[in-house]
Amino acid sequence: LVDASAGTPEGDEGYDKLIHGPLDFTPLSFEDGSFDCLLLTHVLERLRNPEAFLKPLMKCLSHEGLVLITVPNLQYHKTVFMLSEGRWAYGESGVMDRKNLRFYTAHEVRWLLQRLGFTNVRFASLVGDDAAALPRDTEGYIHHGDVKAGPLTDEQLASWLTEYYLVLATRS
């Protein structure tokens, strides 16, 4: 599947079948259980209606199938601090990519996937900063301008340091 905004792939790129169009409004005609794994990279954030897109894909996924998703994290510290300064600046990539229509944190992605029947939703940092980029004070707080957050556990700090998540979920 290729979103219309991604351009048209060449015929020799190894696709068996190509469906071209806006993904959340393009009917899918795959057999139930025909895929063991779905890979969605740079997809959820570019859909007008991610739930409408994911529902039919659930049927295409085998009973023990899994979905692998990459998604930018709105909780990424550089984005949060930009917003705390009253700025909303789009860019060419990352969380604030001008092609993004939706914005997610790990909480929202988990909630969406669980509502659709995915279980065992796991997250890993795909792209992020080292902890040295956002040091905690002796009480476990992070600071930037007027923003003070914490105290943060290591797991909570990892959410602030992650620009892109790798999400793995299985079908219930």
Over the stretch 61-70, which tens digit does the pLDDT of each residue have?
998 899 999 9
For residue 132, what are the contacts with CB-CB under 8 A and spacing of at least 6? none
Q: Which helix (H) or strand (E) holds 116?
A: none
Beta-bridge mates of residue 61: 35
Structure confidence at residue 119 (pLDDT): 84
Over the stretch 103-131, which tens digit does the pLDDT of each residue have?
999 999 999 999 998 889 999 999 999 99
This prediction's pTM: 0.87
Q: Which residue has the higher pLDDT, 75 or 6?
A: 75
Asked if residues 147 and 84 have their Cβ atoms less than 8 Å apart, the reply is yes
- Mean pLDDT for the chain? 89
Confidence class for position 100, pLDDT limits 50, 70, 90: very high
Asked if residues 50 and 102 have their Cβ atoms less than 8 Å apart, the reply is yes
Q: Which helix (H) or strand (E) holds 145?
A: none
What order of strands is seen across the sheet that includes strand 118-128?
35-41, 61-72, 162-171, 118-128
**Over 60: is that where the pLDDT of 4 sits?**
no
Over the stretch 45-54, which tens digit does the pLDDT of each residue have?
999 999 988 8
Closest CA to 48 of 16, 5, 105, 110: 5
For residue 63, give both structure tokens.
Answer: 């009973």
DSSP-H helix ranges across 100-153 = 106-115
Q: Is the peptide bond before 151 cis (omega within 30 degrees of 0)?
A: yes
Q: What is the DSSP letter of 172?
A: -
For residue 107, give both structure tokens.
Answer: 């909480």
